[in-house]
Amino acid sequence: MIDLNKYSHVYLLGIAGIGMSALARYFNFKDKLVFGYDRKKSDLSIELESEGISIHYNDNISKIPRKIINSKKEDTLIIYTPAINTSNKEYVYFKKEGFQLYKRAQVLAKISEDFYTIA
């Protein structure tokens, strides 16, 4: 299973949805370097940016922050939402470069595994 404590960088594909933005805030609170991509700017993404989370809005590999591109793969957690198509350029890039990508649900399961939850 995923060891979330080992990651120093977190990149979220589809960061501005309600579930992904909560994950972004969670990891930001845990003092991880948090970055993300979404298709369009929204009130929620503006809030995340005001909290120090870097977001870009173009499906363009050149927009991925250098801190993510240059980070060690084992130090970088890539999370994606079901809204991200597998043809998304950034998704394809991370897969091709050997980054481990996790579904939002996998990460939520890991975070909540030590808690009693009702879904």
Q: Does the pTM exceed 0.85?
A: yes
CA distances from 47 to 11, 30, 52, 72, 110 (A): 17, 18, 9, 28, 25
Q: Is the pLDDT of residue 2 over 90?
A: no
What is the average per-residue pLDDT within 1-16?
94
Q: Is 98 helix (H, G, I), strand (E, B) or coil?
A: coil
CA distances from 110 to 5, 22, 89 (A): 11, 14, 27
When the pLDDT of each residue in the chain is averaged and rounded to a whole number, the result is: 95
Q: What is the pLDDT of residue 110?
A: 94
What are the tens digits of pLDDT across the range 55-107? Answer: 999 999 999 999 999 999 999 999 999 999 999 999 999 999 999 999 999 99
Domains within the chain, CATH numbers bracketed: 4-112 (3.40.50.720)
